[in-house]
Amino acid sequence: MRARPVILGCALLAAAFTALTAPAAAQPSRSPAAPAAGLDTCRQAFNNVCDDPALGGTGACPAASDRTDCTTRERGLSRRASFFGYDDRILFDTARHPWSAIGHLIFDTGVACSGVLIAEDVVLTAAHCILHHGALVPDGDFVAARDAAAGPVSARVIDAHILPTVRDDPDMRRFFRDNSDWALLKLNRPIGAELGYLSVEAVTDNRPLRRDLISFIALVLIAYIAGFALKGVERNILQGLAAIGMIVLVVFAYRAFFGDDPRLERVWQAGYSADTGDHLSGSTDCRLLEFRASGLIGHDCDTVVGDSGSPLLVRRGEDWAIIAIVSHTGVSVEPDGPGSNRFVDRSYAVSTSVVPDPEAVFGASAPTP
């Protein structure tokens, strides 16, 4: 009977932890279509060699286009970016798969985001990229494979699908919190047949949620204690069920604390950051930090405005899968201003577990030529 206070104490601590992990305020990551000058727009950026002649470099890059290599990678949180102490980004070769399937979305509204092909003519991105002054405005171009020998490949967005609740009431704070910040875009031609497209994989925390574990403990204790109020066969049956429940609980707890943890898995992120111009940039070794019940996934991939809608990827042998879409950074207060070096502990992405099958949304018919 001494175990009861310990179990109750564990339950209270877990409940307190759940209450303390409420979502922070959301900061979306959109950007103007035109890339900012004087940043990291050189093709040789992030090679750890200063090539900017204006900053004392080799001159292999135009002036004011190789900032990071010539200054420092030490960075924090600003209004336009979230770094976790250090800018780990590199540039990817978009002539190669899977990077060829990740494109630059340049909308007629002047907003630019990132997106990824999940079918021959369907792009997955963030919903806030196509919401303009409360209206759904998806008109724009999807441009990919700029490094390919034949030049970039582009297609026009002709239709879009988002959740009806987002369409009817585009409250950004709500849909960031509710894991609704995703959109499917239909293209006017199947460029994914040429560039390839990526599969979607639902990755969740396979360790049971704490509240489920607490509920199960409570049921087992209730069944065991209730058995003392009965006699004979009924008591034996109920206490036998409680004993079986305890065995299941041990397995349950083992999985919770010692099972495979997706937060240890290597994750890639790639998008069209505003400070890298037409070059695809991203991280090759970031981690998943948190799984919210809503489906939001906390991560530590370095992101800049323009990366909204870019994919978080995992490698499965020779294949790649999308597990989430970059959405926003969770911050409780605004930073002091541009250049602030205040650090953030995580950013958020939308789990692809909530994304519908493109054929169920747009049908399997051929796109408009």
**116 and 147 together in one domain:** yes
d(CA 240, CA 57): 76
d(CA 83, CA 303): 7
Q: Phi-psi bin for 133: left (phi > 0), alpha (psi -120 to 50), beta? A: left
Q: What's the pLDDT at 185?
A: 97
**232 and 288 together in one domain:** no
Q: What is the mean pLDDT of residues 300-311?
A: 94
Could you read off the pLDDT of 151-197 as tens digits, one per residue? 899 999 999 998 877 766 656 666 677 778 899 999 999 999 999 99
In a domain, 286, yes or no: yes
Q: Is 263 exposed, middle or buried (0-12, 13-18, 19+ CB in 10 A)?
A: middle
**220 and 331 together in one domain:** no
DSSP 77: B
**212 and 300 together in one domain:** no
d(CA 332, CA 34): 29
pLDDT classification of 257: cutoffs 50, 70, 90: low
Q: How many CA atoms lie within 13 A of 79 on its CB side?
A: 6
**198 and 275 together in one domain:** yes
In a domain, 4, yes or no: no
d(CA 113, CA 32): 9
**238 and 283 together in one domain:** no
15 token code pair: 């409940």
Q: Phi-psi bin for 340: left (phi > 0), alpha (psi -120 to 50), beta? A: beta
d(CA 63, CA 314): 36
Look up tokens 């292999």; give the residue. Answer: 60
| Residues spanned by the domain of 238 | 207-258
For residue 235, the one-letter residue type is R
In a domain, 310, yes or no: yes
**341 and 198 together in one domain:** yes
- CA of residue 119 relative to chain centroid, distance: 19
Full-model pTM: 0.75
In a domain, 287, yes or no: yes
Residue at a domain's end among 232, 258, 284: 258
**84 and 189 together in one domain:** yes
In a domain, 311, yes or no: yes
**283 and 189 together in one domain:** yes
In a domain, 322, yes or no: yes
Per the structure, how many domains does the chain have?
2
Q: What's the pLDDT at 255?
A: 59
Please name which of 108, 102, 73 lies closest in space to residue 90, comparing C-alpha atoms. 73
Could you read off the pLDDT of 34-91 as tens digits, one per residue? 334 458 999 999 999 999 999 999 999 999 999 999 999 988 877 788 888 889 999 9
Q: What's the pLDDT at 365?
A: 55
Our CA angle for 25, 28, 34, nearest 5°, is 155
Q: Which CATH number fits the domain that encloses residue 161?
A: 2.40.10.10
**171 and 299 together in one domain:** yes
In a domain, 316, yes or no: yes
Please name which of 356, 298, 358 lies closest in space to residue 327, comparing C-alpha atoms. 298
Q: What's the pLDDT at 146?
A: 96
In a domain, 369, yes or no: no
Please name which of 2, 35, 31, 11 lies closest in space to residue 303, comparing C-alpha atoms. 31
**244 and 150 together in one domain:** no
* Partner residues linked to 349 by β-bridges: 297, 326
Could you read off the pLDDT of 97-130 as tens digits, one per residue? 999 999 999 999 999 999 999 999 999 999 989 9
Distant-in-sequence, close-in-space partners of 220: CB < 8 Å, separation ≥ 6: 242, 245, 246, 249
Could you read off the pLDDT of 259-288 as tens digits, one per residue? 556 667 899 999 999 999 999 999 999 999
**213 and 332 together in one domain:** no
